């Protein structure tokens, strides 16, 4: 008798949890779409407490029947109810054929919002590859790298006595400059000073790095061109970009801008619209289509960089919200694109926090550029297509510099 009651309780628990997917579908009807990443999660505690009709309960009757038979006859010990529940959810989602609708376990779900916070252990430096074939350092303000004496434009020659060059994968090099923050931890760098060409080796301790979403400077190759790179679209990006544009346009001699969206995987939707709006005098940035309506998302109309010549750099890893911005600036004839065809992620995912702190990403909308060009699965074709340099030199940046120099001279 006890075994029967226990099986019935387990069955009831399993049946209830399997209905989460259905409740999520009902919740989508009243949820406004966020961005590719969405810092706020929608709480389903209230939704789960609502009564579900007998018709809805019968949707998974066959699955419940299978679990009942397993409970009665399976020879070996079964995985935990949670493991079986997670597997059932993942199996259900695979039938959608949508790689962007997926389920995430609690530990990973908890770290999702940390991605947009941009915090890690490291030295706080951005490494970029120049057209001349150098690994050039750009330290973050108040970072361990800056405090150790690394200056803008210094060249990286070795890490922990291991020579580095353009043949090293960018991700591998980046990991060499990160580590756990503890006493005595850090990394030894050999650099060539941009000021006088001398070489020196210095130790840089690891610290907690708050990564900016926007970095900017004037270019050493041409000081009349301001360079802005957006690493990810976070809640801070519009404010940081406003600061960058204001400072660059106030600098004497800056006559053109390069906006680098290469390797930018996307981020928050509204922030991407706000970013595009800084370069536009109002108007449509993107069309967003759900299963019930299509809405234009418009620029605010108070752009602070609407006239200065502009080039946008893109590549195969420019995705989602970054494609949204690039597509808007291209279609509105505000900028040309230089680089390679973008990734082609033109859908919006809403993120739902579930009762056990796991989460569900649900594709809830798709984007179209102002000229109603579909992004998903296609990407954006650049105005000037570039073949990536086999030696890792930044030929796209070099082409942008040459193009803008000609534009400025022709005005």
Structure confidence by residue, pLDDT tens digits, 188-201? 999 999 888 999 99
Q: Which residue has the higher pLDDT, 208 or 243?
A: 243
Phi/psi at 377 (5° precision): 80, -5
The mean predicted confidence, pLDDT, of the chain is 83
The boundaries of every CATH 2.30.42.10 domain in the chain are 119-208
Question: Among 35-44, 97-106, 305-314, where is mean pLDDT lowest?
Answer: 35-44
- What pLDDT score does 372 carry? 95
Choosing from 143, 320, 358, 359, which is the catalytic residue? 320
1-116+211-411: CATH, from 3.40.50.720, 3.40.50.1000, 3.90.76.10, 3.90.226.10:
3.90.226.10
182 is catalytic: no
May I ask the CATH architecture of the domain 119-208?
Roll (2.30)
Q: Which residue has the higher pLDDT, 352 or 331?
A: 331
Q: Which residue has the higher pLDDT, 169 or 372?
A: 372
Choosing from 143, 213, 265, 345, which is the catalytic residue? 345
Question: Which two three-digit tokens encode residue 301?
Answer: 């109309």
Checking if the pLDDT of 19 tops 80, the result is no
Q: How far apart are CA 72 and CA 372, in angstroms?
A: 56
Residues 89-114 pLDDT 10s: 999 999 999 988 999 887 655 545 55
Contact (CB, 8 A) for 89 and 103: yes
Kindly report the pTM of this predicted structure. 0.71
223 is catalytic: no
When pLDDT is cut at 50, 70 and 90, the band that residue 173 belongs to is confident
- What pLDDT score does 240 carry? 95
The boundaries of every CATH 3.90.226.10 domain in the chain are 1-116+211-411
CA angle 129-304-371, nearest 5°?
A: 80
Residues 215-250 pLDDT 10s: 999 998 999 999 999 998 988 899 999 999 999 999
């Amino acid at each position: 008798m006890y075994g029967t009651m226990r099986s019935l309780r387990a069955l009831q628990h399993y049946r209830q949890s399997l209905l989460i997917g259905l409740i999520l579908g009902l919740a989508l009807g009243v949820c406004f779409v966020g961005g590719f990443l969405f810092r706020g999660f929608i709480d389903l505690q209230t939704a789960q407490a609502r009564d579900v009709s007998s018709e809805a309960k019968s949707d998974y009757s066959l699955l419940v029947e299978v679990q009942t038979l397993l409970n009665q006859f399976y020879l070996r010990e079964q995985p935990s109810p949670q493991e079986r529940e997670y597997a059932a959810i993942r199996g259900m989602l695979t039938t959608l054929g949508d790689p962007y609708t997926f389920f995430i376990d609690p530990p990973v779900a908890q770290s999702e919002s940390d991605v947009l916070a941009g915090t890690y252990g490291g030295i706080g430096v951005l490494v970029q590859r120049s057209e001349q074939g150098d690994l050039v350092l750009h330290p973050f303000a108040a970072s361990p790298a800056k405090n150790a004496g690394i200056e803008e434009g210094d060249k990286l020659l070795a890490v922990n006595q291991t020579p580095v060059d353009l043949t090293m994968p960018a991700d591998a090099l980046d990991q060499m400059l990160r580590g756990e923050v503890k006493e005595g931890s850090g990394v030894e760098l050999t650099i060539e000073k941009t000021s006088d060409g001398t070489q020196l080796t210095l130790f840089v301790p690891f610290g907690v790095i708050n990564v900016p979403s926007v970095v900017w400077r004037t270019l050493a190759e041409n000081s009349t061109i301001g360079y802005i790179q957006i690493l990810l679209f976070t809640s801070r990006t519009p404010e940081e970009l406003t600061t960058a544009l204001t400072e660059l346009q106030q600098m004497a001699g800056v006559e053109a801008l390069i906006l680098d969206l290469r390797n930018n995987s996307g981020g928050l939707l509204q922030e991407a619209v706000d970013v595009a709006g800084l370069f536009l005098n109002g108007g449509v940035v993107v069309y967003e289509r759900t299963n019930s309506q299509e809405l234009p998302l418009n620029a605010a109309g108070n752009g602070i960089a609407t006239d200065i010549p502009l080039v946008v750099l893109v590549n195969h890893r420019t995705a989602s919200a970054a494609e949204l911005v690039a597509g808007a600036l291209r279609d509105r004839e505000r900028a040309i694109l230089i680089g390679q065809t973008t990734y082609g992620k033109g859908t919006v995912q809403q993120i739902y926090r579930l009762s056990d702190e796991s989460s569900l990403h649900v594709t809830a909308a798709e984007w179209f550029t102002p000229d109603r060009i579909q992004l998903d699965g296609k990407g954006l074709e650049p105005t000037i297509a570039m073949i990536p340099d086999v030696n890792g030199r930044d030929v796209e940046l070099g082409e942008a510099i040459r193009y803008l120099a000609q534009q400025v001279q022709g005005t």
